[in-house]
Amino acid sequence: MSDAKISELISLLSKQIELQERRLNEQAKLQQEQLKVQQEQMSAIISKVCNNAEAKGCTDKEFTPFDPSSELWFDYHSRFLTFSEANRISDERKPLTFLTSQSREIYKLVQTAGAQLDTPTDINSLTWPQILDIMKRNFGDQCFLVRERYRFYTETKRDSGESIQELASKIRLKAMNCDFGSVKNPLEEALKTAFVCAVNNESVLRTIFHKHSEDLSFNEVVEIAKEVEGAMNTAKAQLKDNPSQGRRTSKETAVEPRISAKGVLLQL
């Protein structure tokens, strides 16, 4: 083969290789563009799904109902806010999410309170601030401090087989609901707590628990107890002196006691 033909063949092969490289580069560029478009489409879909979830407050998880006998409202409210943030529940969806998590008693309490507002409002139309105000008025922590401290001193006992470390942990946990750190007058608080623990009268305890405990002095607690027991003794004496009237009253005019959601005696 002559040198001219060899040169021509080499030139032809070089052009073919160059053309093939160009095609490969174009294909790679096209694939990169297609991949970029797909990534943008995927990002748009993910963003849309997240926005819809945030707007609708979609969640497949349930939140525990509020139990005033075992948890302070402040702590429950804080946990609910954390739950709402974690599940992207918008402010518009918080009222319904909160209400559907509650027990029948709490739901009825909020419903009744809404109907008694200056502008009567259906429970499903209550705003989140309105619901918070209702819950705070009925379950504000200050109303429960005497009760929680009473439980702390009277119900904290070592269980069978419980270790020292377990007992210490339990006491620390129970103390969290008592807010001992806010006590400004330790002697006054000690007197009130000792009196409440020793009074041994359910009606007196219910009346004291219904008050804003931080606003009561020891002397005021004693006066409340004297008034309640005095009224009870007067009623007993009257029934003892007039047994027939007592029987007639119990049959004809007896009123069934009503207990609020907080465990407070509403009607005697």
Domain residue limits, the chain: 74-139, 143-239
What is the band of 139 on the pLDDT scale with cuts at 50, 70, 90? confident
Residue 263: phi, psi to the nearest 5? 80, 20
H-run or E-run covering 265: strand 265-267
> What local confidence, expressed as pLDDT, does residue 256 receive?
44
Lowest pLDDT segment from 33-47, 93-107, 226-240: 33-47
**Mean pLDDT for all residues in the chain:** 79
- Distance in angstroms (rounded) separating the CA atoms of residues 7 and 3: 6
H-run or E-run covering 69: none
200's torsion region: left (phi>0), alpha (psi -120 to 50) or beta? Answer: left
